[in-house]
Amino acid sequence: MSVTFYHYPKCGTCRKAKKWLDEAGVDVNSIHIVEEPPSKKELKELYVKSGLELKKFFNTSGQKYRELGLKDKLKEMNEEDQLALLATDGMLIKRPITTDGTRVTVGFKEAEFEQTWKS
């Protein structure tokens, strides 16, 4: 199995997820989420395939999220505007995002990875 893994190398959660995938024998195509953030179109595809609410794609504990005051602003923004905002800065996106083109996980929970990515 091969997955695309959007991550930030300095992120501890991303490193744990990458280690898990490596140990599980999953072939990983790593993409630095800050240097190459997914486009609005890619984010929309990931969001739709994930089945999650769009808010789950925001790095709500991130400095940038707080600086921009997004906690209150997101409620007033439509889906298209939220996706456009996410595409502007990889630091706004919750990470890691892992996908095989069909399934998508956001963040790292070992039980979820076990269920989704174990061959």
Can you give the pLDDT at residue 1? 82
For 88-109, write each residue's pLDDT tens digit. 999 999 999 999 999 999 999 9
Of 4, 108, 16, residue with least CA distance to 46: 4
pTM of the predicted model as reported, rounded to 2 decimal places: 0.95
Q: What is the Cα–Cα distance from 99 to 104, expressed in whole angstroms?
A: 4
For 35-70, write each residue's pLDDT tens digit. 999 999 999 999 999 999 999 999 999 999 999 999
List, in order of start, the domains of the chain with CATH numbers.
Answer: 2-117 (3.40.30.10)
Can you give the pLDDT at residue 95? 97
Judging by DSSP bridges, how do beta strands 2-7 and 97-99 pair with one another? antiparallel
